[in-house]
Amino acid sequence: MNDKQLAAIHAAKHVQNDMLVGLGTGSTANFFIEELARRQTEENLKITTISSSNISMIKAQSLGLNVIGLQQVNAIDLYIDGADEITPDLNLLKGRGYDLVMEKLLAKAAKQFFVVADKSKLVDCIGTNFAIPIEVMPFAWQAIKKSLEVIGGIGDLRPNVAKDGLSISSYGSLIFDMTFDKSMTEGDLNERLNNIPGVIEHGLFYQLASAVFIAHDGNIEEKWR
Ligand code: 5RP
């Protein structure tokens, strides 16, 4: 078993009968979905899920999990997802994929949000290994880019995989990948990004995680907020 799978299986132990559970997106979240489906079958649990992406929804349904839409509820019990970066304060960078809007909605709606990862995701500060993804209204991208540059952002619209066009999020938006001066606190950056008109959502998940479960070399370390 690899460390991502170990962290995901550890987190799945927190799921109880009758819970409404948010499903993340990515390779670690996939291990969680598989474990959840296993527990549902083998322990005869009644679990309802909400997915952060179409790809996770399809996987969950194919394994027999019941998936409902966020429009049907105003809160969820538990959300479990991976992350791209995790700081000592449990701030996160997420959204290297195309689903950060839904991921942040689930993180905010969850009574508890557990992050599962291997130790490669631990960093001293957000932006160490990746630029911050910022999902924006397509027609306003030029004005938004200027606003991002005013607060020190350096970067551009994300190209698609073939590099012959732009990346489009699951909700039809464009995505900037931007770096910022590390002297700005994560709290400040979060507030400034939140205040730019036309920014739909960004990948800095500031003080949203309840706990992170980090697996390294077969052991689990839990960090709670
Ligand atoms: C997707 C995410 C993922 O959780 C993050 O990219 C981690 O992925 P993986 O578990 O495959 O390492 O934020 O938007």
Question: Ligand 1 mean position to 116 CA, how many Å?
Answer: 10
Ligand 1 pocket, CB under 6 A: 24-29, 81-84, 94-97, 99-100, 103
Q: Which atom of ligand 1 is nearest to the CA of 26?
A: 11
pTM confidence score: 0.95
| pLDDT tens per residue across span 27-43 | 999 999 999 999 999 99
Residue at token pair 């004005």: 143
pLDDT in tens, 67-113: 999 999 999 999 999 999 999 999 999 988 788 999 999 999 999 99
Going by alpha carbons, the residue nearest to atom 8 of ligand 1 is 26
Q: Contact, 215 vs 4, CB < 8 A?
A: yes
Q: Which atom of ligand 1 is nearest to the CA of 117?
A: 10
- CA separation for the pair 38, 58 (Å, rounded): 16
Closest-CA residue to 199 (of 179, 173, 171, 172): 173
Query: Residue 121, class by beta-carbon neighbours within 10 Å (0-12 exposed, 13-18 middle, 19+ buried)?
Result: buried
Residue 122 gets which letter from DSSP?
Answer: B
Which of the following is catalytic: 85, 103, 135, 186?
103
Helices (H) and strands (E) in the chain, counts: 6, 14
In tens digits, what is the pLDDT along the chain, a chain of 225 residues? 899 999 999 999 999 999 999 999 999 999 999 999 999 999 999 999 999 999 999 999 999 999 999 999 999 999 999 999 999 999 999 988 788 999 999 999 999 999 999 999 999 999 999 999 999 999 999 999 999 999 999 999 999 999 999 999 988 999 999 999 989 999 999 999 999 999 999 999 999 999 999 999 999 999 999
| Catalytic status, residue 42 | no
Residue 26 C-alpha to ligand 1 middle, in angstroms? 4
Distance between Cα 107 and ligand 1 center (Å):
14
